[in-house]
Structure 1
């Protein structure tokens, strides 16, 4: 059942990604990074179909990845890449250039980022540089992010020779927006706050949080770096609109408490909705 759900959402993500690529990126003569960027460059120069090129470029990596990266990851990768190629072919007629190239690059980033984010969130991949980066990391220890950045930089730079510097710069806007949307789609729209409270009255604060806010808390053992004295560190996850109330509770019991608040994404567990 889990695999069916994953493939269902990977299919949705592949459609959104392919539609955005055709309707906003290709229609407005923008580029992309990775194997998609190679496919677009070959389309602009020679007229090759991106749907066919992407699939052909990935076949050798499917074979290599199947042997080196594990079967489950590669099954989802093959499914995701094949669906992207299929939907790219299916939505070719949807290409419609926009008058505003900046608007086109923003929409391209949002749609491509959303599609990829959904695919990644459910264990899928679109192959290409993702597989190369994983193999480079596994055998040479080179970070995946750095490998993907170098590859994308080279492809977009080459594309600039053909599509022009201006459109290459708009492509960078699309890539930047896509990266932010991918993070959003993977982490979930729901965001909470995590508070770490260092106080000599941690137990009193914990009791009041549980009683008045109906939130759980965890007391961790710590030690002051300067004094060397044992300290209790209270860790609590709350929704954003509860932060003000939490501060009031802490201040009412220990005005000298040290409080650190940070963002938390995709919170799962009792008291929080499943993102």
Structure 2
């Protein structure tokens, strides 16, 4: 029971905070600078621009309602129900914070700060496995019959469409440019918050000198090494592959170390979104 209360409280804190931060981003950096958000919020901003009597939050809510009704009928579940309340509170917050003074300086600064705040806000909501509605829900509905479509790609396409539409409505190409910059910064911040703030790499090394190289990595770099048995598809030859997770600044040290033991070693360096464990982010 206590655990459930705690989870509900965290939902309220994270999602409520996210909605407020997102609303501040729109009020201070977006609306009066011609910077359009993607998705339903962006369309709502355009409606408000063309019809000032309709507040952005109200327009956003009205656009989201039919999406949630269809989603509840097709998908159902706790996720849709709870996300609807997040969307409703976000719509309320957008109008509630519209009184804040707008930043009227450099539009590039507006785009960057709007992206940072929007990315942070959406990350807080996504951390609770919820959504603010809009294109997230639309993408889920499309994937019901087209499961091969990527969620990220569907959202990106819809956001890009709205931003191009904003450029037409605002009659300003710069609005498209700054909106795309804002979208890029938002995406970057979400990735960094949700998937790790540090850059890590995974090395896969196929070598005949696996014993000496693994010992050198452990002693000189201080990283653990896993040894994996592999075989060549063409030759059928049995080999050893070393797998090692390191920080980005340690890659060059290992890359210089390997040839001193085996000049014919085959090394693959892969970006790692996040590594959890001893010596890395969460457990350091």
| Structure 2 residue aligned with 1:227 | 235
1:154 matched to 2:161: yes
Shift of 1:226: 4.8
Specify whether residues 233 and 69 from structure 1 end up closer, same or farther in structure 2 by C-alpha distance, changes over 3 A only: farther
The answer as to whether partners of 1:7 and 1:76 remain within 8 angstroms in 2 is no
| Structure 2 residue aligned with 1:57 | 63
Q: Which runs of 5+ in 2 are unaligned?
A: 1-5
| Structure 2 residue aligned with 1:191 | 199
| Structure 2 residue aligned with 1:106 | 112
Shift of 1:152: 2.8
The answer as to whether partners of 1:30 and 1:163 remain within 8 angstroms in 2 is no
| Structure 2 residue aligned with 1:181 | 189
Q: Which runs of 5+ in 1 are unaligned?
A: none
> What do the CA deviations read for 1:167-188 (whole angstroms, capped 9, x no partner)?
2332222223322222222222
Shift of 1:133: 0.7
Deviates more, 1:165-174 or 1:16-25: 165-174
> What do the CA deviations read for 1:231-266 (whole angstroms, capped 9, x no partner)?
211111122343344345534433332222222122
Deviates more, 1:143-152 or 1:21-30: 143-152
| Structure 1 residue aligned with 2:91 | 85
1:203 to 188, 211, 219: 211
1:129 matched to 2:138: no
CA RMSD between the two structures: 2.5
Distance in 1 (alpha carbons) for counterparts of 2:178 and 2:258? 48
Distance in 1 (alpha carbons) for counterparts of 2:33 and 2:249? 42
Aligned residues: 275
2:123 to 117, 123, 127: 117
Distance in 1 (alpha carbons) for counterparts of 2:204 and 2:225? 10
Distance in 2 (alpha carbons) for counterparts of 1:273 and 1:175? 27
Provide the secondary structure at the position in 1 that maps to 2:109: helix
TM-score (norm 1): 0.87
